[in-house]
Chains A and B, each alone.
Chain A
Amino acid sequence: MKKFAICTLLLCGLATCVLQAQQTAAVDRPPEPNFVFDDDGGKAQIVPADFSTVGPKMFHGGAVLASAQQVSIFLGAGWGNQQVRSRETPLLDINAGSGNIHSAELQGHNIKTLPAATHLEDFTNFGSGRVNDLTIQRKLSDLLQSKAIPAPKAGTVYVFFLAPGIDSTLGAHKAGVDYVAYHNFVNLEAGEIHYVVVPFHSDAQRHTSAAARAFAESAMNPNGQGWF
């Protein structure tokens, strides 16, 4: 009898996984390379997992930030670990340093990079480890309402660094498989908010590179109609 019960539950779990895998596999993508549909039907630009690019950027007539300033949010209980936390310092101002290729690219598009503003550590424990783009938007709304992070200025880009152990998804896409970072925007009480999400990467170099590229792309293409 116990065997039957265990088998039934295993079968159920397997079928659930298959169902979800089928739904995940059958996803649409917008025609533009390195864009995916986000959680509420819009488009978001990703840094693909292989860091591939799509040739020279073209201007599409939309908004471009005149300046960009990083506000960092280290999100998730994993940042409480001292070893992980030591990773925060080089991420606090990802565009600092003249050798950064993305800083040069921003300069080439007449976008000023302001010194990074304050940062926040939010050690929320996401029980299931799953965080999608709607979770990020709700977290932004909560943090802004509680004034835990500064209100947005014209060039503010909030950069979420996710702690290890958090599985980030964007629409039907998964961090590590489909992307290493992405940027998006949302309209809240405080106005139009631009943000970047950077899932944790075991390789510190690639972690920083992904963040710097997504930050630069957010400044050059904040609403999906700029340079890309």
Chain B
Amino acid sequence: MQHFRRRCLLLAVLLLTISPALFAQCGVERWSVKTGTDPDAGKVNLNSTTNTTISSLRAVPAPSPIPSNNRVSPTETTQWVINATLTEYKLESDSDYHLVLSDASGNTMIVEIPSPTCVGSGSPFFAGIQNARAEFDARFTATTSFQTANIPVQIKGVGMFDFLHGQTGVAPNGIELHPVLDVIFNPGTQPAFTLSASPTSVSVAQGSSKTTTVSTTVSGGFNSAISLSASGLPSGVTATFSPASIAAPGSGSSTLTFTAASTATAGTSTVTINASGGGISHSTTISLSVTSGGTTSQLLGNPGFENGSANTSPWTLTSGVINNSSSEPPHSGGWDAWLDGYGTSHTDTALQQVTIPAGATAATLSFFLHIDSAETSTTTAFDSFTVQIRNSSGTVLSTLATYSNLNKASGYQQKTFNLLSFKGQTIQIFFKGVEDSTLQTSFVLDDVTLNVTQ
């Protein structure tokens, strides 16, 4: 009887433990991407991490449309590391732990830890999710109600753009780390360093050199020199760090120079930057494109709109776009293209048709964009600016980016896009600003260039 009683008690405890799980359900929307069972999950390099910040991720333009079962590269194919403060957490009905992170400026974003029971066995993230869930459970008990916290955390996870639907703590562009693969509480108390590179995408022509900056920051009393090295270089390319290591205590930067011989293999490679010191190693990656050392030409006419309003050719523009008023000064020269800014329902467009030669080895669209807005929302894109590539009939071939009032900033920001995939085609470079019924947003465009190497 004694044995029977023990078994009954054991059964009772077991039932109590598993009963919430009996009623747990898994999500639907982008669930494969959120848990790593999508066809692109293999593109995420789990052997590398990239340090970033909440504000950097919030600044990434949201894709449009968001694919339901595929990843948007590189944001959704990168394993990011963020240091921030955990401020809120909750158990969702889809079994996720919903965590709200905040930075020192009050910018927030969501990171989520799915339940391992909702992760397909083929997911490369399964072990990481299980690990993160256990790490969180060891510290907190998430319930169906938001609980507040105030604890520094280091979160490692994969980027994922969620649809905006009023989530607590959501970033304006919907970016999340989903799933989270590792959680470290109070990371500063352990000696540690972070590694980052800027820019993370470098293009070097055969027979020339290009640089990027590799930086390290230390925390938790880390005090050691950090040695740097690069691997995965394509044939004919060398990498040199100056200095070759970051001196103790380990915070600093080094200029990394890629030198491509004239015989270097053309193409794009992922170069891994390794950093080691104090018994700790980290790595990050850089996308390195080697282009043939051909001649580069700028193909767009009237790139800075300097022909003025009397002759806008070869641009096709809606009325009133060409501007030389001091209200919206140009990036350079005397004129710019000022789309919208009326504070009423309005659409402005600018397009130029161009042919990218079939023999092109590089084609880069670049422009400077300034956005100012009277909108005050930090969550809702009321007014938008879309950059598209269309064919000569006006059919959209690709939407390169969408910006909105949420991206307003002082000054101009340069945007660049690789158009090599359109070589051999006649395309329209198309900009469209759409403004809603109230509160103006101005999208000011200048110095639009298409540099083609062949």
Interface size band for A: 35 or more
Name which residue of chain A comes closest to B112, CB basis: A41
User: A11 contacts B12, CB within 8 Å?
Assistant: yes
**Chain B 85-98 per-residue mask, 1 if CB under 8 angstroms from chain A, else 0:** 00000101110101
Given the known inter-chain contacts A43-B166, A185-B165, A188-B68, please indicate yes or no for A61 contacting B382, CB distance below 8 A.
yes
Scan residues 159-197 of chain B and give those whose CB is less than 8 A from a CB of chain A. Answer: 163-168
Partner of B93, one of A5, A132, A189: A132
**Which 9 A/B pairs are nearest by Cβ-Cβ distance?**
A42-B165, A43-B166, A39-B93, A12-B12, A137-B28, A26-B145, A8-B8, A40-B94, A41-B167
User: A141 contacts B28, CB within 8 Å?
Assistant: yes
| Cα A58 to Cα B175 with chains together (Å) | 28
Partner of B69, one of A37, A60, A189: A189
CB distance from B399 to the nearest CB of A (A): 15
| Cα A27 to Cα B144 with chains together (Å) | 6
**Chain B 1-44 per-residue mask, 1 if CB under 8 angstroms from chain A, else 0:** 10011001101100110011001011111100000000000000
Partner of A39, one of B9, B16, B25: B25
CB distance from B335 to the nearest CB of A (A): 32
| Cα A192 to Cα B165 with chains together (Å) | 12
User: A19 contacts B165, CB within 8 Å?
Assistant: no
* Chain A hits for B5, CB < 8 A: 1, 4, 8
* Chain A hits for B121, CB < 8 A: none
| Cα A206 to Cα B203 with chains together (Å) | 66
Given the known inter-chain contacts A16-B19, A23-B144, A189-B68, please indicate yes or no for A138 contacting B8, CB distance below 8 A.
no
Where the two chains meet, the residues of A that have a C-beta atom closer than 8 Å to any C-beta of B are 1, 4-5, 8-9, 11-13, 15-16, 19-20, 23-24, 26-28, 30, 35, 37-43, 60-62, 130, 132-135, 137-138, 141, 169, 171-172, 185-189, 191-192, 223-225
CB distance from A130 to the nearest CB of B (A): 7
Given the known inter-chain contacts A12-B16, A225-B380, please indicate yes or no for A187 contacting B8, CB distance below 8 A.
no
CB distance from B99 to the nearest CB of A (A): 11
Show 11 residue pairs from A and B whose CB-CB distance is below 8 angstroms, ordered by the A residue: A1-B5, A16-B16, A23-B144, A40-B92, A61-B380, A62-B380, A134-B93, A138-B28, A171-B144, A172-B145, A188-B68
B146 near A: Cβ within 8 Å? yes
